[in-house]
Homo-oligomer: A and B are copies of this chain.
Amino acid sequence: MKKNMLPLIGLVSGAALVVWSILIAGDIMSFLDTPSIIITVFGSFAALMISFPFKTLLNIPKVMKVLLSDPKDKRVDLVNLFAELSRKARKDGLLALENDIETIHNEYMIEGLKMVIDGVEPDTIKEIMELKLDTMERRHRSGQEVFEKWAELAPAFGMLGTLIGLVIMLSGLDDPDAIGPGMATALLTTFYGSLLANLIFIPMASNLSLQTDEEVFTGEMVIDGILQIQAGANPRLLEEKLKTYLSTDELKLLSSEKEDEVGAASYE
């Protein structure tokens, strides 16, 4: 099971559980009501159009794809990469790193290394890279805020739909037999609003928030590594320092890789 499928599995199994719990006691048809879906989904989306600029809303599909994608840079790999680059820089000078840039996938790290090679001063590198990290974080948080706001507005429009249904039902209370079905329909929008918020929007906002936290933390590690390479730090110390950014699990992973490497190295 690949890790990045988890949100999809969660979504599908959550939806399946809801459908199953409907089926065992009643009829799924009584839960399908097109106007109820429209007022809840599109009503809250109309309010989102007032809340956010156009380009942020255009980003929604892109943001949803982020949920399913693997994190691009594993911190463990970065520690190894930095250790290697640092050894090279010590032996052949900072300019020797130019050839390695093409093999690096992390855009952010490439930009930092280019500045190191260009001889930009450490303080300027630090300032520019922190600003870049900040701008990246701002952009990601805005995607997350869309889902947080939607998680707030969807149940609100669900409740509005229920109020509309109740007022209509109560103002035309001629037939007592119609109370039950009328009320059932009125409650459907509350059901949709709550389902959308709790199964989709709140979990997605959580997920995006955690991913952004991770990226910012990785970014801080990259800044640290870049500045140490520039300062000509001892490769061993650099590695020790960067390892403090790793969790216990990542450290285990790193040391197992190391053993393999050492094993391989002994044949050289």
| Chain A positions near chain B (C-beta within 8 angstroms) | 3, 6-7, 9-11, 13-14, 17-18, 21-22, 24-27, 30-31, 35, 38-39, 42-43, 46-56, 67, 124, 127-128, 131-132, 135, 138-139, 142, 149, 152-153, 156-157, 159-161, 163-168, 170-173, 177, 179-181, 183-185, 187-188, 190-191, 194-195, 197-200, 202-204, 206-207, 210, 217, 237, 240-241, 244-249
Residues of B within 8 A of A163 (CB): 187, 190-191, 194
The answer for the CA separation of A172 and B31 in the assembled complex, in Å, is: 12
- How far does the alpha carbon of A183 sit from the alpha carbon of B115 in the complex, in Å? 68
Q: Is the CB of A10 within 8 A of B167?
A: no
Are A50 and B180 in contact, CB atoms less than 8 angstroms apart? no
B160 touches A53 (CB 8 A): no
CB pair B184–A167 under 8 Å, yes or no, is: yes
Q: Are B13 and A49 in contact (CB under 8 A)?
A: yes
- Of the listed residues A128, A184, A188, the one surrounded by the most CB atoms of chain B closer than 10 A to its CB is A184
Q: Secondary structure of the A side of the interface?
A: helix
B residues in contact with A157, CB < 8 Å: 198
Contacts A167-B191, A181-B170 given; does A35 touch B25 at CB 8 Å: yes
Across the interface, A160 reaches (CB within 8 A) one of B43, B48, B191, B202, namely B191
B139, A248: Cβ atoms closer than 8 Å: yes
A167 touches B194 (CB 8 A): no
B160–A198 touching, CB < 8 Å? yes
Nearest chain-B residue to A220 (Cβ)? B131
Asked if A195 contacts B160 (CB within 8 A), the reply is: yes
Copies of the protein in its oligomer = 5
| Shortest Cβ distance from residue A60 to the other chain B in the assembled complex, whole angstroms | 14
Contacts of A55 in B (CB 8 A): 3, 249
- B49 touching A6, Cβ below 8 Å: yes
Chain B residue contacts of A179, Cβ below 8 A: 173
| Measured CA separation A65–B250 after assembly (Å) | 21
- A-B pairs, top 7 by smallest CB distance, nearest first, are A10-B49, A173-B180, A14-B46, A26-B168, A50-B203, A51-B206, A170-B184
Most B C-beta atoms less than 10 A away, residue of A30, A49, A67, A191: A49
Residues of B within 8 A of A38 (CB): 17, 21
A244 B131 Cβ-Cβ under 8 A: yes
